């Protein structure tokens, strides 16, 4: 498949060295990658394992299909469906490791592990946000520049509202609130006003249409100084806000973290890793830590300067390493 071949050169798992430092080795381990994507983290982790289980979960069916193709190219053998009650595949490698690829939202983690009869987990990984594959190949309007695409932004195309549905139907005040919540505090009202005016003329259908409306609104309000002042595209935070709302990301994360902790091995034998990329994700992690006394923040870390230089998409990443106390 051409997509999987192209992604060999562009897909770089964030903070992979730091993740591997916390990953288990040896036999009879269980790893759950709640944001499997194309397996950038998990395929590295599984190389250190033998006779173990890796559960890869992703809500994006197209991503799961490409990950399946990559696994087969790496020599994994298909054993059959993941389970009668799960959509996905069960594969194995030459070291007797079992890989489950499951198309599901990670907020259903308890149900997935129950179906697979998994009680304890040595490592759970959440690498949040969209992937390189989704940005470059899915044609769902995640990017505010580049090629013109339908403003969809859903990870799961089979359910929920598209981003263009929200842009064309939500009130001006509701849009402004969404943009403010994701950090676009200074120009949220002006952007919402511009969107409300533009959609009266014609529905906003593509990423580039929305990006141009936002850029024009912000430049008008800022006297053309926006790019110089903050060095970021004026549509960046608005696109982030829409993606988070469309995919219900913060609620899903807040639901999944306690489930991951519930199954985590207590003490040094279990680690929960969460890699965040924006303030809302960070706050969800901090709230989780505050509300669960058995969750212990071991440390948090940012990517090295070298990694940021080599992989600019990692620049806003923060990795939280969490353990489980015996209480």
Burial of residue 285 (number of CB atoms within 10 Å: 0-12, 13-18, 19+): buried
d(CA 38, CA 248): 22
Sheet with 295-301, strands from edge to edge, namely: 77-83, 86-92, 98-103, 53-58, 30-33, 123-127, 271-276, 318-324, 295-301
Would you tell me the crossing angle of helices 236-246 and 249-263 to the nearest 10 degrees?
60
Is 83 annotated in a binding site? The answer is no
Judge contact between 150 and 206, C-beta under 8 A.
yes
Retrieve residue 72's tokens. Answer: 């087969």
CA atoms within 13 A on the CB side of 263: 24
d(CA 128, CA 59): 12
Neighbours of 39 (CB within 10 A): 25
Is 26 annotated in a binding site? The answer is no
CA distances from 152 to 55, 67, 96, 205 (A): 28, 22, 40, 9
**How many residues comprise the chain?**
327
Neighbours of 233 (CB within 10 A): 18
Is 40 annotated in a binding site? The answer is yes
Retrieve residue 243's tokens. Answer: 């993606």
Q: Is 237 helix (H, G, I), strand (E, B) or coil?
A: helix
Is 134 annotated in a binding site? The answer is yes
Is 39 annotated in a binding site? The answer is yes
The binding site for S-adenosyl-L-methionine comprises: 39-41, 58, 106, 127, 134
Return binding residues: 39-41, 58, 106, 127, 134
């Amino acid at each position: 498949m051409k997509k999987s071949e192209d992604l060999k050169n562009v897909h770089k798992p964030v903070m992979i060295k730091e993740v591997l430092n916390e990953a288990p080795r040896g036999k009879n381990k269980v790893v759950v990658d709640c944001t499997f994507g194309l397996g950038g983290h998990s395929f590295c982790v599984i190389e250190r394992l033998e006779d173990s289980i890796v559960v890869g979960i992703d809500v994006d069916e197209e991503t799961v299909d490409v990950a399946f193709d990559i696994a087969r190219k790496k020599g994994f053998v298909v054993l059959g469906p993941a389970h009668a009650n799960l959509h996905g595949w069960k594969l194995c490698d030459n070291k007797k490791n079992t890989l489950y690829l499951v198309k599901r939202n990670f907020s259903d983690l308890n149900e997935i592990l129950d179906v697979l009869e998994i009680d304890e987990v040595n490592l759970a990984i959440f690498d949040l946000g969209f992937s390189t594959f989704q940005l470059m190949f899915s044609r769902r309007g995640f990017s505010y520049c580049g090629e013109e695409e339908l403003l969809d932004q859903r990870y799961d195309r089979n359910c929920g509202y598209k981003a263009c549905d929200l842009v064309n139907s939500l009130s001006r005040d509701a849009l402004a609130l969404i943009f403010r919540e994701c950090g676009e505090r200074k120009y949220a009202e002006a952007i919402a006003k511009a969107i409300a005016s533009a959609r009266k003329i014609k529905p906003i259908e593509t990423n580039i249409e929305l990006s141009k409306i936002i850029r024009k609104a912000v430049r008008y309000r800022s006297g053309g100084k926006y790019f110089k002042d903050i060095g970021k595209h004026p549509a960046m935070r608005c696109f982030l806000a829409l993606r988070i709302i469309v995919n219900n990301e913060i609620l899903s994360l807040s639901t999944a973290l306690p489930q991951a902790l519930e199954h985590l091995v207590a003490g040094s034998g279990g680690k929960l890793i969460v890699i965040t990329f924006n303030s809302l994700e960070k706050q969800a992690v901090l709230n989780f830590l505050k509300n669960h006394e058995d969750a212990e923040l071991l440390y948090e870390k940012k990517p090295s300067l070298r990694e940021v230089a080599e992989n600019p998409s990692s620049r806003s990443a923060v990795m939280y390493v969490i353990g489980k106390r015996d209480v």
